[in-house]
């Protein structure tokens, strides 16, 4: 067996690096095979110190990164297929991963620069440069901080994000995973001890911090409308009535708000009085119904928005998504290629809103609305008004039965831990959930479930987290 593995490494070095990179992504949701990440990183670092690999570290680092992103982001092809562009699926499977692989390729190349070539030094340098590469991937151009290394851990270890954030945990994670290639027993055991300590501290924090409730009762509605019918005019009434039916069921306790998912109304609701009246009819008395849908701007823009409607049928607040999905919600090369369409329905590109902001409403408190993947950007989920909870409206039906909905949920849990405030997640299809300030999921609706959750909103932590006080906005 060992001879066959060595033969693979010697005769097929690119394939070997691709496989090792792919193994590292099996540590993320929903698989969580963390030992495979340790195997992938440590064997890769061992290989790049061999003469046959070390001469071209950028090339082999690219193949390692390519495998990492092909396996971790394979669901991008599902999103393209959902809109009928099956012939573009290879771009999702291989195109974006090929570009993203440039980041680990550069990290690998830099880790082998310099005079000292000891395995310990290379392991440390690789970890630092991988951390920098992850930060750059999450921040330059439009940014895609998906599957950062720290997201592979269970909830107790994730608690450290309340102090150092997900980027800090990602650095510690790579230092730990690469320590097995350092050839230093002391160094390796030190990092094993660090993560045993992190797990123990996190377990104690979870046990010592019960969830407190605010007494603000709301309802999350998950209609699980198939993406294939969501935007079809002849299915509008059926889909709308499905939402209304779930919203109208009598609650055991008086509600303050009913929450629907992103783009739950695929038309301009405020243009149709009958729609607003119907929505008002299922809004709680003296409360609100919060929906997702497009909104007209004053200069002809179209926003994808969170709309808050009261029981009188008035639009009392709105938030316009400010971090749009390139190619999906707008085409970034519009000036040069005006004839190319975006992937989502509608001929006109969506416009970006003015930025993250807090909505403050009587009976609901202050909350920060986040539309879909806005919640994946650490440090960019709340403004200076110190909201007491976050609302994430999303539609993960784009990704079908893949790992994406589970990864998305794991990512937004960390936003709650970082900020020390609860997060309410409303998914059209995906996983709707009520998450407390420590990332514990109190209630959830699973993929393909049709139903609702009536819940009492968890309270924020009594004191702000160190991360939200000192690092938020500074390193993200």
Cite the active site residues: 262, 321, 372
Sheet holding 365-371, edge to edge: 359-361, 365-371, 389-394, 423-427, 432-435, 441-445
The answer to whether 69 and 395 have CB atoms below 8 angstroms apart is no
CA distance 390 to 284: 20
Q: Phi, psi (5° rounding) for residue 329? A: -105, -15
Distances (CA, A) of 455 to 213, 221, 255, 282, 416: 10, 11, 9, 17, 17
Three-point CA angle 283, 284, 289, nearest 5° = 35
CA distance 47 to 163: 35
Strands 365-371 vs 213-222: parallel, antiparallel or unpaired: unpaired
Distances (CA, A) of 354 to 156, 334, 335, 379, 380: 36, 20, 21, 16, 13
CA distance 197 to 177: 16
The answer to whether 80 and 40 have CB atoms below 8 angstroms apart is no
């Amino acid at each position: 067996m060992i001879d066959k593995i060595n033969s693979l490494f010697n005769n097929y070095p690119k394939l070997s690096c691709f496989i090792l990179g792919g193994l590292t992504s099996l540590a993320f949701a929903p698989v969580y095979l963390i030992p495979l990440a340790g195997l992938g990183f440590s064997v890769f670092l061992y290989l790049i110190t061999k003469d046959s690999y070390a001469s071209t570290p950028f090339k082999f680092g690219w193949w390692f990164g390519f495998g990492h992103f092909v396996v971790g982001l394979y669901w991008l092809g599902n999103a393209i297929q959902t809109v009928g562009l099956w012939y573009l699926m290879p771009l999702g499977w291989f195109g974006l991963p090929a570009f993203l692989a440039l980041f680990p390729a550069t990290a690998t190349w830099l880790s082998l620069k310099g005079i000292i070539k000891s395995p310990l030094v290379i392991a440390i340098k690789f970890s630092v440069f991988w951390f920098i590469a992850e930060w750059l991937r999450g921040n330059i151009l439009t940014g895609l901080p998906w599957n950062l290394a720290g997201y592979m851990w269970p909830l107790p270890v994730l608690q450290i994000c309340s102090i150092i954030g997900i980027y800090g945990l990602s650095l510690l994670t790579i230092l730990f995973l690469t320590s097995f290639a350092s050839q230093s027993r002391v160094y390796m055991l030190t990092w094993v001890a660090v993560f045993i300590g992190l797990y123990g501290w996190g377990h104690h924090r979870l046990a010592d911090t019960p969830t407190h409730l605010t007494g603000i009762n709301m309802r999350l509605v998950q209609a699980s409308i198939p993406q294939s019918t969501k935007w079809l005019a002849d299915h509008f009434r059926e889909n709308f009535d499905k939402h209304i039916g779930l919203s109208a069921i009598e609650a055991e306790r008086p509600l303050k708000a009913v929450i629907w998912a992103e783009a739950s109304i695929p038309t301009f609701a405020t243009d149709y009085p009958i729609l607003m009246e119907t929505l008002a009819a299922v809004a709680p008395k003296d409360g609100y119904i919060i929906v997702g849908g497009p909104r007209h701007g004053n200069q002809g823009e179209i926003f994808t928005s969170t709309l808050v409607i009261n029981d009188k049928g008035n639009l009392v607040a709105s938030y316009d998504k400010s971090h749009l999905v390139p190619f999906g919600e707008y085409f970034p090369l519009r000036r040069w290629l005006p004839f190319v369409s975006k992937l989502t329905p509608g001929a006109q590109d969506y416009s970006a809103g003015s930025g993250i902001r807090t909505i403050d409403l009587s009976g609901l408190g202050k909350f920060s609305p986040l539309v879909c993947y806005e919640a994946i950007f650490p440090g960019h989920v709340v403004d200076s008004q110190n909201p007491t909870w976050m609302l994430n409206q999303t539609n993960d039906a784009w990704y079908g039965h893949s790992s994406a909905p589970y990864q998305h949920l794991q990512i937004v849990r960390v936003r709650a831990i970082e900020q020390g405030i609860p997060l309410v997640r409303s998914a059209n299809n995906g996983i709707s959930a009520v998450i407390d300030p420590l990332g514990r999921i109190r209630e959830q609706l699973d993929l393909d479930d049709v139903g609702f959750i009536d819940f009492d909103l968890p309270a924020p932590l009594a004191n702000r987290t160190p991360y939200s006080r000192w690092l938020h906005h500074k390193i993200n």
